[in-house]
């Protein structure tokens, strides 16, 4: 899953949210220097990723893209799924998306000193362009896909994946909706076990 899903699946716990968000920037188990609960957020993130990667529904979404994008297909699906979460946000949260996202940006700024270098470099762009809120819009997703393509030196051709999203929009949305209900249940259980573990 991508940024918004990981933030949401931290269930409003601030330290878990930080860990869940920064996990992809942390190598192996090199996070002993971080607060204990932030470490637990990193572990939660990795459980969510493992569950997602092994689940049949995201694999169906990914397979639809594989001929054009090969191993980048799963990354694209993560971005698509964040779009559907943002678009249907009121189904999952009573907090308006703009408020939720602004609170998250404030959380990052309040915890700036413990963020990895890569996150610190990315933050100004994320906040000024309001990446996470703009996942709800097709042009926002197009910008994300263009940015990801640039990061691969144009090898991934992910910039064209907005066309695939438009062509198969209903199918991707149905797959997201079915999968995300299961992911919420899994994540709540894992959240409880991780947070309560001594």
Burial class (CB in 10 A: 0-12, 13-18, 19+), 93: middle
Give the mean pLDDT of the chain: 95
Q: Using 50, 70 and 90 to split pLDDT, how confident is the model at 1? A: confident
Q: What is the mean pLDDT of residues 167-182?
A: 98
Residue 96: CB atoms within 10 Å: 11
Q: What is the mean pLDDT of residues 138-151?
A: 94
Task: Provide the token pair at 16.
Answer: 């878990």
């Amino acid at each position: 899953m991508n940024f918004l899903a990981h933030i949401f699946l931290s269930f409003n716990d601030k330290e878990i949210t930080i860990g869940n968000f920064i996990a992809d920037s942390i190598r192996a188990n090199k996070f002993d220097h971080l607060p204990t609960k932030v470490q637990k957020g990193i572990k939660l993130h990795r459980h969510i990723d493992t569950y997602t990667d092994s689940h049949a529904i995201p694999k169906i979404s990914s397979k639809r893209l594989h001929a054009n994008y090969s191993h980048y297909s799963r990354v694209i699906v993560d971005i698509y799924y964040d779009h559907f979460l943002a678009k249907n946000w009121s189904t999952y949260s009573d907090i308006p998306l703009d408020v939720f996202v602004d609170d998250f940006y404030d959380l990052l700024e309040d915890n700036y000193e413990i963020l990895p270098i890569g996150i610190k470099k990315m933050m100004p762009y994320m906040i000024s362009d309001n990446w996470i809120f703009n996942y709800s819009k097709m042009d926002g997703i197009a910008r994300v896909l263009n940015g990801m393509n640039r990061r691969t030196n144009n090898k991934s051709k992910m910039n064209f994946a907005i066309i695939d999203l438009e062509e198969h929009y209903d199918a991707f949305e149905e797959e997201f909706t079915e999968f995300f209900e299961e992911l919420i249940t899994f994540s709540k259980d894992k959240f409880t076990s991780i947070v309560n573990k001594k």
